[in-house]
């Protein structure tokens, strides 16, 4: 696992925050002819996935056994306000990987506001990192 993230890594993710905050955006469509994988994500969502992988935010760990912990962060946004970078990376990894097995999972994470909250926490961490450097 890549230890920590650089400001550059975080900035690459935060560029998407306005997009995910705007509930007026279309994040996905449903292809009713595809019974197995009907969700079609918008181009910006695919770009976000690319940035997650390119910057090595997504990493190998047993995300399946960590799902109960992730549910706690989903159900209690106050916990998210105290999450560290490792926890945020775990959440992002879990949500991206779970979408491969549960079509539409990532769309629900966006729609529910959970993804913007993860990115907002990352934004707070970024501010603290920048302050420490100055």
Query: Does residue 12 lie within any of the structural domains?
Result: yes
Query: Does residue 127 lie within any of the structural domains?
Result: yes
Query: Does residue 61 lie within any of the structural domains?
Result: yes
Q: What 3 state SS string does the chain have?
A: CCCCCCHHHHHHHHCCHHHHHCCCCCCEEECCCCCCCCEEECHHHHHHHHHHHHCCCCCCCCHHHHHHHHHHHHHCHHHHCCCCHHHHHHHHHHHHHHHHHCCCHHHHHHHCCHHHHHHHHHHHHHHHHHHHHC
| C-alpha span between 82 and 84 (Å, rounded) | 7
Q: What is the pLDDT of residue 131?
A: 87
Contact status, residue 40 vs residue 76, Cβ threshold 8 Å:
no
Per-residue pLDDT of the chain (134 residues; tens, 9 = 90+): 445 788 999 999 999 999 999 999 999 999 999 988 999 999 999 999 999 999 989 999 999 999 999 999 999 999 999 999 999 999 999 999 999 999 999 999 999 999 999 999 999 999 999 888 87
Query: Does residue 55 lie within any of the structural domains?
Result: yes
Q: What is the pLDDT of residue 130?
A: 87
Query: Does residue 2 lie within any of the structural domains?
Result: no
Q: What is the pLDDT of residue 3?
A: 58
Report which of 15, 21, 12 is spatially closest to residue 110, judged by C-alpha positions: 21
Owner of token pair 């002819």: 33
How many angstroms from the chain centroid is the CA of residue 59? 13
Q: Which domain holds residue 77?
A: 7-133
Query: Does residue 1 lie within any of the structural domains?
Result: no
Query: Does residue 72 lie within any of the structural domains?
Result: yes
Work out how many domains the chain is built from and give that number: 1
Q: What is the pLDDT of residue 5?
A: 83
pTM of the model: 0.93
Query: Does residue 86 lie within any of the structural domains?
Result: yes
Provide the token pair at 43. Answer: 């181009």
């Amino acid at each position: 696992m890549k230890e920590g993230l650089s400001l550059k890594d975080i900035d690459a993710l935060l560029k998407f925050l306005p997009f995910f905050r705007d509930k007026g955006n279309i994040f996905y469509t449903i292809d009713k002819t595809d019974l197995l994988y009907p969700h079609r994500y918008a181009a910006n969502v695919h770009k976000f996935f690319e940035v997650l992988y390119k910057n090595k935010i997504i990493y190998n760990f047993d995300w399946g056994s960590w799902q109960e912990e992730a549910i706690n962060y989903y159900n209690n946004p106050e916990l998210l306000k105290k999450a560290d970078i490792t926890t945020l990376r775990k959440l992002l990894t879990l949500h991206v990987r779970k979408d491969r097995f549960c079509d539409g999972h990532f769309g629900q994470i966006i729609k529910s506001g959970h993804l913007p909250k993860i990115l907002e926490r990352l934004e707070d961490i970024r501010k603290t990192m920048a302050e420490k450097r100055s």
